[in-house]
Amino acid sequence: MAAQRIAVVTGGNKGIGFGIMKELCAKFSGIVYLTARDEGRGRAAIEELKKAAATEPFGEQAENTIRVNFFGTLALCRAFFPLLRSHARVSTVSSSAGHLLRINGNEPAASALRQKLSSSTLTEEELCELMNQFVKKAKDGTWKESGWPNSTYVVSKIGVSALTRIQQRAFDADPRPDMVVNNCHPGYVDTDMTSHKGPLTIEQGAVCPSYLALLPPDIKEPRGAYLWYDKQIVDWVNGPTPTAW
C-alpha cells in the first residue's frame, strides 16, 4: 500500500500561508497540516478553510449557500410563525461565522454594510435584498470591493443572525404575548461538517440551542440575541466573541 502523502504549511493561519493552505486543500491528494504560532488563530483558520473548501465558482457557491442557509431558514419561519402560540420559543442555529464583525471586507464599504445590517429599523425585505445583492456581487466578481467577506458561509450566517433581530421586533409587536426568538453559535463540534475535528461533543453543542428553546415564561433576556455555545449573550454588533471557535 502506498504511503499517505502529507503536506505541512508553516504560518498557515494568515497571509500567503493561508493562501497556500487554500490551494493545497483544493488540489493536494493527501493530508494537509496547518501550523501557527497561536493555537486559537490556527483553529480559526481551519474553520474558515472548511467553509471555503468548495471548488465551484464563488458566484455559484454564494447562490447555493445563501439559498439554503438564509432563504431556507426564512421560508421555514414564514411557514411556522403564524402557527406559534403565546410564550413560544424559537431557537435558531447560527455560527461563530455569523457575528457582524465578520463583515470585514473593503472599508468603508464594509462599515456601511455593518451599519445597514445592524440598523434597528432594518426590515425583512431589506435584509433579503442585501443577501441577493451579495449573490449578485459574487457572480460579477465585485463582492470584495463592495465590503463583503470572502466567505459565502459567513454572509449566510450573518443574514440569519440579522434576521433574528428583525423577527424579535415583530414578536414584540405581536398580539400573542411573550414570543421570543434567539440565535446562537453552538460551538466547534465534532461532526461530519467539521470532519470530526471539533473539540466539543454533540451534547455540548446542543446545550445553548436547547437552553434557548426552554427559556421560562416572561423572561426579560435574551430576546433577539446572539449567544455563544456556553450561553453567554454576545454583543452582535461590537463584539468581542468569547473565543475563536
Task: Give me the pLDDT at residue 54, please.
Answer: 66
Q: What is the mean pLDDT of the chain?
A: 91
Task: Give me the pLDDT at residue 4, please.
Answer: 61
Task: Give me the pLDDT at residue 3, please.
Answer: 59
Q: For the segment 86-119, what is each residue's pLDDT rounded down to a tens digit?
A: 999 999 999 999 999 999 878 899 999 999 999 9
Asked if pLDDT for residue 12 goes beyond 90, the answer is no
**What are the residues facing 181 on neighbouring strands?**
90
Asked if pLDDT for residue 167 goes beyond 70, the answer is yes
Least confident of 6-10, 182-186, 216-220, 238-242: 6-10
| The residue to which cell 497556500 is assigned | 20
Q: Which among 122, 132, 78 is positioned nearest to 100, based on CA atoms?
A: 122
Cα→Cα distances 79→14, 95, 96, 219, 224, Å: 42, 23, 27, 25, 19
Q: At what angle do helices 72-80 and 152-172 cross, to 10 degrees?
A: 20
Task: Give me the pLDDT at residue 19, please.
Answer: 83
What mean pLDDT is predicted for residues 4-25? 83
Q: For the segment 132-157, what is each residue's pLDDT rounded down to a tens digit?
A: 999 999 999 999 999 999 999 999 99
Rg of the chain in Å (alpha carbons):
19
Higher-confidence position of 51 and 78: 78
CA torsion angle 220 225 227 232 (round to 10): -40
Per the CB < 8 A criterion, the answer to whether 22 and 54 are in contact is: no
| The residue to which cell 411557514 is assigned | 79
Cα→Cα distances 82→78, 93, 203, Å: 7, 20, 31
Which member of 153, 188, 226, 229 is catalytic? 153
Q: For the segment 30-73, what is each residue's pLDDT rounded down to a tens digit?
A: 788 899 988 888 888 888 887 676 667 889 999 999 999 999 99
Three-state secondary structure readout of the chain: CCCCCEEEECCCCCHHHHHHHHHHHHHCCCEEEECCCCHHHHHHHHHHHHHCCCCCCHHHHHHHHHHHHHHHHHHHHHHHHHHCCCCCEEEEECCHHHCHHHCCCCCCHHHHHHHHHHCCCCCHHHHHHHHHHHHHHHHHCCCCCCCCCCCHHHHHHHHHHHHHHHHHHHHHCCCCCCCEEEEECCCCECCCCCCCCCCECHHHHCHHHHHHHCCCCCCCCCCCCEECCCCCEECCCCCCCCCCC
Task: Give me the pLDDT at residue 119, please.
Answer: 98
| Known catalytic residue at 33 | no
**Which domains, from first to last, does the chain contain?**
6-51 (no CATH), 58-234 (3.40.50.720)
Task: Give me the pLDDT at residue 55, please.
Answer: 67
Task: Give me the pLDDT at residue 1, please.
Answer: 42
